[in-house]
Amino acid sequence: MDPDLLSIQEARTLATTARDAQRIWANATQEQVDRVCAAMADAAFRAAERLGRMAAEETGYGVPEHKKLKNEFSARNVWESIRDVKTVGVIEHDPARKLYKIAWPMGVVAALTPSTNPTSTTIFKTLIAVKARNAIIVAPHPSAKKCCYETAQLMAQVAVANGAPPGLISCMQHVSLQGTQELMKHRYTALILATGGSDMVRAAHSAGKPAYGVGPGNVPVYVDRSADLEKAARYIVGSKAFDFSVICATEQAVVADRPIARRLEQLMKLEGAHFVTEHEAEALRKILFRPDGAINPATVGKSPQYLAAMAGFPVPYTARILVARLTRVGKDEPLSREKLTTVLGWYEADGWEAGCDRSIELIQFGGRGHSQIIHAQDDKVIMAFGLEKPVFRIGVNTMGTLGAIGLTTGVMPSMTLGSGGIGGAITGDNITVHHLYNVKRLAYETTPPPDSALRPGTVPATPVTAPDPQTIEKVVREVVAEILKMSS
């Protein structure tokens, strides 16, 4: 059978099965829900290394050990953050306002997952969906379908063993664009949860269903003259090198305050940053991006040595990232774009105001609504960045990769980071269980209605004039003639 038809039929079958399972799961108690989710989180945590290795081998992206850490984060940290959240029945009561809030599941969630973080995203989305009493169907990127299926199957088997209905958790195996579109538009799909590239997010938002989608993150990191430079250098290099830079919150360009720029450069070199020449930067421009500005998939999630070999120049085996000195932002400077690989831009700015302007320029070019990192000790500078940046996550003195997802900061642990209205998304939140259920309000009267609302009002007389007999006869003749014409 045609692969597209197979994929379409699989989407329809899984959606129907998921709908039936979700109708059963919607009646689960909080105790049942939490038992199933705890068991799934434990199983995913124990399988983190195996699933991380599978993801790296299948996609060719990133570092297996780092994918293991992301899997553990999605299983442990995400579950710990939502474990005590009420998702069944009355979840909040305000006695003063005589108001009850009651959780109500969405239904069937279509979960689009990326090739860059496939298994960790599958774990994360499955936990928050099932915790909210939804069914979930994972629609993986074609290059990550095996590891996503293995992850979803593991969690599905554990869920059923602990009392969940079969079919509540599933993953497409016959993956195609047409099949994914069928899943998103299927009448039983209630919500789309899309994590991936811009094209995927646009498709999710145009499917005619409620959708949470995330846009790209061209994340600048400003290093102020007041910063702890040793810590900043260690964190920036470590964050950019983490899983070869496939997390969308990874730093994409350093904006260094000029008085400390040389010292920061020296410290970053000690951490494994290799600053390339202009000739080498030009070679990187040619291999990293296509003429239309899209990143070359062959360069995503690759080591500095791999990229340098592709570009035709040598780098030391000790290099962890490549850094290119830049002066422009925009289409005429490809390296100012988001780079989901181990290449980092480098800008210098004289003072935090200039650093702020350069950061906004980078954000506006390709990361509206996503994230910004700042290293500083001056609270006034930090607050200025927080108030002025058109992003919804500003990480302070932390790694972009791990800070934005909530491993090293207090934001909600998540593998799907909203970019808000300015970034083309419905929310700027870190997506979590609260986004996957609706809330009913049971509201008692607290204020009597005004007397005027209960008294009958004056009804204005509206004269009704009947049509004359000649008009009625004319209309009847026209209708009869039309009927005779159609029958002949």
Report the C-alpha gap between 135 and 126 in whole angstroms: 9
Residue at 415 is within a domain = no
Q: Are residues 228 and 187 in the same domain?
A: no
Residue at 372 is within a domain = yes
Residue at 446 is within a domain = no
Q: Are residues 210 and 224 in the same domain?
A: no
Q: Is the dihedral of CA 257, 263, 267, 270 positive or negative?
A: positive
Report the C-alpha gap between 270 and 78 in whole angstroms: 34
The CATH number given to whatever domain includes residue 249 is 3.40.309.10
Domain that holds residue 124: 3-214+432-440
Q: Are residues 189 and 42 in the same domain?
A: yes
Which of 147, 148, 171, 248 does the annotation list as catalytic?
248
pLDDT of amino acid 367: 87
Q: Are residues 135 and 261 in the same domain?
A: no
Q: Is 148 a catalytic residue?
A: no
Q: Are residues 190 and 224 in the same domain?
A: no
The CATH number given to whatever domain includes residue 141 is 3.40.605.10
Closest by CA to 255, choosing from 389, 365, 351, 335, is 351
Do the beta carbons of residue 318 and residue 268 sit within 8 Å?
no
Do the beta carbons of residue 77 and residue 48 sit within 8 Å?
no
Q: Are residues 261 and 191 in the same domain?
A: no
Residue at 447 is within a domain = no
Closest by CA to 66, choosing from 238, 259, 228, 318, is 238
Residue 443: count other Cβ atoms within 10 Å of its Cβ: 12
Report the C-alpha gap between 115 and 143 in whole angstroms: 6
Q: Are residues 138 and 263 in the same domain?
A: no
Report the C-alpha gap between 485 and 349 in whole angstroms: 80
Task: Specify the number of domains making up the chain.
Answer: 2
Residue at 460 is within a domain = no
pLDDT of amino acid 104: 98
Residue at 360 is within a domain = yes
Q: Are residues 256 and 336 in the same domain?
A: yes
pLDDT of amino acid 462: 66
pLDDT of amino acid 424: 84
Mean pLDDT by 10 residues, the chain (488 residues): 92 98 98 98 98 98 97 98 97 96 98 96 98 98 97 98 98 95 96 83 83 87 98 98 95 98 98 98 96 92 97 96 97 95 98 96 92 97 92 96 96 94 89 97 95 85 70 77 68
Residue 213 has φ and ψ, to the nearest 5°, of -130, 155
Q: Are residues 134 and 250 in the same domain?
A: no
Residue at 457 is within a domain = no
3-state SS assignment for residue 211: strand
Report the C-alpha gap between 265 and 271 in whole angstroms: 10
Q: Are residues 336 and 383 in the same domain?
A: yes
Q: What is the pTM for the complete model shown? A: 0.91
Residue at 166 is within a domain = yes
Q: Are residues 230 and 210 in the same domain?
A: no
Q: Are residues 119 and 243 in the same domain?
A: no
Report the C-alpha gap between 251 and 254 in whole angstroms: 7
pLDDT of amino acid 487: 59
